[in-house]
Structure 1
């Protein structure tokens, strides 16, 4: 096994596509539009934080970390004048249920039921200190359908991991854009993809690059130095360590069973084009 693909990372890779359909399938976008939200990005930002209430831009920018403050401020708080958090949440849950029931292969119900049980056990083992997004989603009422349960549990787990990633990056002295540049420099997602989808200007991107060069993390051609490569490795290792709660709750056999159940479903979503490859959120094909 690739030493970088720890059990925590393998579980994330296996399950993340089941969550990520919310950003690419037509049903969630249509549901947000039906609520009266004027733009796709209003649907995105309200959908990400709906369980936490009608938040203004600054706390959402802090939690989502990698987005330019100006981009978040174009959607929040104005979006809440069109739809309440409760309405956004209900519409999103129904839309992703419909997406998965449409997009997954016939006969997936038994696999989804068992996967839901395992992922909910993993969620039950999570702690939420310093993890506002995961804590908010953990309080959402469990859906009735297996597809809805899988999506909600996958969402709690990915926000739990994501909140931990933010904690690790801040602990390493990185701002949101700085963390993005280290990912791009180390061969993650191309700059044009991240820059266009996170709202950063050329001037802001260049300012971050100068900070990283001054710290010795990038060279003057924007390639990572040895120190930059090591920082990125440490950041990923810390993210995995901070995602240990769900693994402990499942145990080794439970983790392997969850991965075994999720991978064929996630690959189907990729291979049928529901989740595009490559994509602007960096989700791999498991």
Structure 2
């Protein structure tokens, strides 16, 4: 049975993840002068932290190959300042959500609940979540929903990185355990994370040497246990927002958000499968 933390993530993640696939956000990045989609992605993801160079960005984004991040950062800041990237990205995703979601949805209620959940976040060793938590609250309920969903998403993601590192895994190693579970394919993830075939083979050998992957690149029994421990730790580290909401509040978030997230998937606004491993709730 899925934990309430995971049900909450599945319900809310699509409300955030629209930003990665919506044509509005790609157009906004291009409009401010960023010359590639990936430059828009990396600049937009870390914009609240200021004009970061590649090394700290790679450390935080974890699953991406350093060379892929280096193709975008710090060059992105020559084209647009972080504050400009941030504001245009937020404006664009709000337009996208208004296009995708029904106008009569209870946005104000959901915004208030998600903002309550954010009050339960602990930002120690969570730089991405901490940075997004410092962004000024938008004026509209839809904008508030997206920002709160983003803080919650990065809070959980930072916790996932902490869990994986504690288990002795590197970024690509963690990705391979996800592929080895059958939840997502190499074809979906390798090109989206910038790893070469040589990188991939080295990680496979490293995990096979630890008895985590078998010859068919599937998780072994110890690998399944390790992966489950990482997921359980990720859930445990995401309990703060759940504590702030209480079980009834969390259930209400799921009740409101699930139909909205399903609508996003059903409109084709987020692909299945996707690099985040987010399912249709």
TM-score > 0.5 by shorter chain: yes
1:33 aligned partner: 30
Identify the residue that residue 61 of structure 1 maps to in structure 2.
58
Deviation, 1:279, is: 2.0
Do structure 1's residue 195 and structure 2's residue 186 form an aligned pair?
no
Please list the CA deviations of residues 208-241 of structure 1 after superposition, one character each: whole Å capped at 9, or x if unmatched.
Answer: 0000011111122222111001000001000000
2:111 to 106, 111, 116: 116
For 1:138 and 1:235, locate their aligned partners in 2 and report how far apart those are by CA, in whole Å.
25
Q: Distance in 2 between matches of 1:278 and 1:236?
A: 19
| Corresponding residue for residue 179 of structure 1 | 174
Aligned to 1:86: 83
Q: Secondary structure at the match of 2:184?
A: coil
**Deviation digits for residues 69-125 of structure 1 (CA, Å, limit 9, x no counterpart):** 0000000000110000000010011001111111101312xx111000000001011
Indicate the residue corresponding to 1:255 in structure 2: 250
Q: What TM-score, normalized by structure 1, do the two folds share? A: 0.97
- Separation in structure 2 between the aligned mates of residue 141 and residue 173 of structure 1, nearest angstrom: 36
Counterpart residue number, 2:221: 226
Q: What is the TM-score when the length of structure 2 is the normalising length? A: 0.99
1:281 CA drift (Å)? 2.3
Secondary structure of 2:258's aligned partner: helix
Q: What stretches of structure 2 of length at least 5 have no aligned partner?
A: none
Runs of 4+ in 1 over 6 A off after TM superposition: none
- Per-residue CA deviation, residues 150-206 of structure 1 (Å, 9 max, x unaligned), is 000000000000000000000000000000001100112101110010000000000
- Between the aligned partners of 1:93 and 1:224, the Cα distance in structure 2 is 39
Partner of 1:52: 49
> When the two structures are aligned, how many residues end up with a matched partner?
281
User: Given the alignment, which residue of 137, 140, 148 partners 1:142?
Assistant: 137
Q: CA RMSD in A?
A: 0.7
Partner of 2:122: 127
**What per-residue deviation string (whole Å, max 9, x for no partner) do you get for residues 39-58 of structure 1?**
00000000000000000001
